[in-house]
Structure 1
Amino acid sequence: MILFDYPRQSYFGRTLPKAKIYAHTAASTRLKELFVRQIDQIVWKFKLAPETINIPATEIVSEIQIFAVTLKTGELHPDVLRSIDIAIPFPIVYEVSYEGKVKVMACYKRPHESGGEKWISGAWLMSDWMPENAGRQALPVKLDLAALYDELLGTLIPYPPRQGESLQQRIRRAEAISRQQKELTRMEAALEKEKQFNRKVEINAGIRNTKQQIDRLKALTEE
């Protein structure tokens, strides 16, 4: 996983009050309690836009926001970040920090086909925890902000892209791998507990099939 060194000229550095998020999302009591219990501070840290990094916008990606979120306990409910994504009508990449560690989180976000201020958000992508003082790399050089956004999110997917594979296709493939891996874990646990020979044979066949599906999904070429 890569931490990026965002250009100084893109620094925004404004604390985002929780009350503003509540106001833009009609936050429930439960959501407010999550914010109070889990979030120490939210800083709108960088704004990647044509005027700050000299990369042209596209119709889909006009700006990319980088938010620094500091946790109180290390616990983070996905509804917390989802509510921020609802309140802020731009793609967002989060750097979540707790006790000297940081992880990067984002969901693929695009405008709704109906237009207006509605956005569609996909599943969460995230890195492992890393030291906050880990080395950072310069932003990759891209032709426009949409390509840069794809690159930022692509670093959160642990499987390399296939030839001609779009970001959305790559995310769907990663999600399918995750589902199969969970199923594999479930079957392996069931095999450990199973006493009947015939049932063990059945489960073993299912395990082999699931492993083959995972291998196919991870392969760089589609069979």
Structure 2
Amino acid sequence: MTALLYRWPAAAEFARTVPKTKFYEHATIGAAVKDAFVADVRRITWAYKLADSTINLPGTTEVPEIQVFEIDAKGDDVAEGVLAAIDKAVRTPIIFENRRGEGSQQEVQMVAAHKQLGNGAPKMGTYFRTEWYSADIKRATLPTAIDLTGLYNALLQPLTPVKNHAGEKVSDVVTRLTTVRKLEREITALERKLRNEPQLNRKVVLRRTLRAKQADLAELTSTSISPAAGDTN
């Protein structure tokens, strides 16, 4: 079995332990997140730096470098607020590997959010996670890419819970996922209303609306892309 974990190139190894206080200094975080750093995190390691100088893939304006951070957890997980604070303190995109347990019982989980760079603060998307894997499981080689943007997209796409369209960027997937989750909430609410609605004519209207929402959801999660309106080619 090969996990959705990657064998990071030895040439990219950075292996620097980073004090938690560094993230307090570079990010405005509340007391709850500071408490989570103390309660959840044993050690933070800046494990790898994926860059032109280390893996011979050119950086881009979107993705000048990719960092890999290992977070050793004190308990079963690391709060998302902790990951977000680290992400905000480091301008370039980050792939996290959360670790829990000790020795032969140690497990690893890959976590990442799509980070869009711009003139201001980076825009962060939803955090996606793999399942927890045994730390000694076989790892996959890095995806093939021609630059760091391509590599970043290839690393993130398998994490997203919706199917990816051919050639689709991760930013497009994240936008689509936001719509998918909104539709899922609306469908759940409609199903609840339908169960509790006593009037037949009202049930008919609710079923019609529900079917339309379900059709929209199926289209968004399909692997095929419908032609744009007016496109006859």
Verify same fold: TM over 0.5. Answer: yes
Between 1:54-63 and 1:118-127, the stretch displaced more is 118-127
Residue of structure 1 equivalent to 2:118: 112
How big is the shift at 1:18? 0.5
Secondary structure of the corresponding residue to residue 155 of structure 1? helix
State which of 6, 9, 19 in structure 2 corresponds to 1:7: 9
User: Mean alpha-carbon deviation: is it higher for 53-62 or for 148-157?
Assistant: 53-62
2:145 pairs with 1:142: yes
Q: Closer, same or farther in 2 for the Cα pair 1:128/1:179, shift >3 Å?
A: farther
Amino acid at match of 2:117: P
User: 1:159 and 2:165 equivalent?
Assistant: no
Please say if residues 78 and 98 of structure 2, whose CA atoms lie closer than 8 Å, have aligned partners that are also in contact. no
Aligned-pair CA distance for 1:81: 1.0
Confirm or deny: 8 A CA contact 2:7 2:140 kept in the other structure: yes
- Matched ranges for 1:73-152 at <5 A: 73-99=75-101, 100-113=106-119, 118-152=121-155
Q: Is the 8 A contact 2:191 2:210 kept in 1?
A: yes
Counterpart amino acid of 1:148?
Answer: L
Structure 1 residues 185 and 40, CA gap change in structure 2 (3 angstroms): farther
Report how far residue 5 of structure 1 moved. Answer: 0.7
- Structure 2 stretches lacking a partner, 5+ long: 228-233
What aligned pairs does 1:162-201 form with structure 2 within 5 A after superposition? 162-201=165-204
Whole-Å separation in 2 of the counterparts to 1:45 and 1:175: 31
* 2:38 aligned residue: 36
Match of 1:54 in 2: 56
Distance, in Å, in 2 between the alignment partners of 1:168 and 1:35 is 29
Uncovered stretches (5+) of structure 1, i.e. residues with no partner: none
Q: Report SS of the residue matched to 1:122.
A: strand
SS in 1 for 2:225: coil
Q: Which digits, 9 at most, give the CA deviation of each residue in 1:160-207, with x for residues without a partner?
A: 332442221122112222222233233334444555544544443333
Identity, % of aligned positions: 31
CA distance in 2, matches of 1:136, 1:160: 22
Give the length in aligned residue pairs.
Answer: 220
CA distance in structure 2 between the aligned counterparts of 1:50 and 1:67, rounded to whole angstroms: 18
CA contact (8 A) 2:23 2:86 kept: yes
Distance 1:221 1:60, change over 3 A: closer
Give the root-mean-square deviation of aligned CA atoms: 2.3
Instruction: Give yes or no for the alignment of 1:216 onto 2:225.
Output: no
Greater shift, 88-97 or 53-62, is seen at: 53-62
Amino acid of the structure 2 residue aligned with 1:179:
K
Q: Residues 195 and 79 (structure 1 numbering): CA distance in 2 closer, same or farther, change over 3 Å?
A: same
Q: Write the distance in 2 (CA, Å) between the matches of 1:52 and 1:121.
A: 26
Aligned match of 2:230: none
Counterpart Cα distance in 2 of 1:155 and 1:30: 31
CA contact (8 A) 2:77 2:98 kept: no
Alignment partners' CA distance in 2, 1:196 and 1:68: 56
Residues 77 and 100 of structure 2 are in contact (CA less than 8 Å); yes or no, is this contact kept in structure 1?
Answer: no
Alpha-carbon offset, residue 88 of structure 1: 1.2
Amino acid at match of 1:82: A
